[in-house]
Amino acid sequence: MSTVLVTGGSGFLGSHAIVQLLAAGHRVRTTVRSLKREPEVRAMLKEGGAEAGDRVSFAAADLEKDEGWAEAVAGCEYVLHVASPFPAGVPENEDELIVPAREGTLRVLRAAREAGVKRVVVTSSFAAIGYGHGPRETPFDETSWTDVNGRGVGPYVKSKTLAERAAWDFVAREGGGMEMAVVNPVGVFGPVLGPDYSTSIALLQRLMDGQVPGCARLYFGLVDVRDAADLHLRAMTHPAAQGERFLAAAGDFMAMVEIAKVLKDRMGAAGRRVPARQVPDWVVRLASLRDPAVKLILPELGKRKNATNAKARRVLGWEPRSNEESIVAAAESLVRLGLVKGA
C-alpha cells in the first residue's frame, strides 16, 4: 500500500480521511500547524475506530509558509489536500481569505510535483460551483462554476473558487505530468470525532443548544463526512478520476427548518430545544448586527438551489448515505462527546 499525505489531519474531514486510509491499508503522513496537536489527532482517530500506531506520522507545515512542505510530501505517492480554514465572520479585506486559500493550494501542489507525487486530490467546495447565478430550476453539476463577480458572492466563496481555478491552471501549465482530481462537497455533516468540526456541524450544535430563535429561509446541501472521505479515496486511485471534478452531495438540498424537524423528531430529549419554526428574514438580518458569522448567510436567504451527485455515482460507483442519516449521526456524536449543553 502507498504512503499518503493528508493536509489538515486535525480537521473534521481530514481525520475521517485518515481513518479510512488506514482501514484500506495505507500509511499516512499528516500535516498540522503545530506538532503539539498530535495527541489530539490520535485521540480523534481512536474515536473513529482506527489504531494508528506507527502507520501515522506527523509533519509541521503551515499553508502560509514554505517551510516543512518538502519534508511533508517526501516519499508520498498521493496527496489529499483537505486543509482549508472556514471564517468565523466576514473579513474586512477579502484578500485575508483569498490569498491564503489560493497560495496555500499552490504551495502544496508545487511540493507534490517536486516530490514526484502521482496524484493530488484537492478538496474544493460547492462554493466553487453554485454561487453568483440567478434563479434556476436545474441542479448544479460539475460543469458549473461560481461567478465571482455575481451578486452577493462573499470572500469565502471567492476564495474557494479562485483557489480551485488556480489549481487547475497550475496542473495544466506546470504540473509536469502530475495528476489531479477535485472533490466539491456541500455542507459536511456526520459523526464528530472531537472538538474540531465543520461549520455545518456548528449549525446543528447551535440549534440543539437553543441558541437561535428559529430557522432562517436557507437551503443546504448535505453529505456525510464518511462519504465525503470515501469519495476522496475513490478519486485518489480510480483511473477515470484523473482531471475530473466530483460533487459530494447526498441528495436534494434541505431547508434549514427541515433539518431542525429531523433533529426534533429523531433526537428525543436532546432535540427538545430545537426551534422547528421559520423566522422572518428581518430577524436574521437583525441578528447579523450582533453576530458577524450570521453575515455569511445573508446573501443566501431565500435562495433555493440543488445539485446532482450523478457523476460521482456513475464514474466512481459512489453510494452516499441519506441526508437524514448524516444529520442524526452528527447530532448523536455531539451528545456522546458532551458538546451539546444540557444533553
Count of helices and strands (H, E) across the chain: 11, 11
Q: Which of 340, 214, 203 is nearest to 276 (CA)?
A: 214
Active site residue 160: yes
DSSP letter (8 states) at residue 144: -
Which residue shows C-alpha cell 459523526?
A: 191
Contact 129, 145 (CB under 8 A): yes
Task: List the catalytic residue out of 160, 261, 264, 295.
Answer: 160
Instruction: Show the DSSP H helices in 115-142 as ranges.
Output: none
Q: How many CB atoms lie within 10 A of CB 176?
A: 9
Burial (0-12, 13-18, 19+ Cβ within 10 Å), 132: middle
Neighbouring-strand partners of residue 220: 254
Contact 218, 266 (CB under 8 A): no
Contact 44, 15 (CB under 8 A): yes
Active site residues: 160
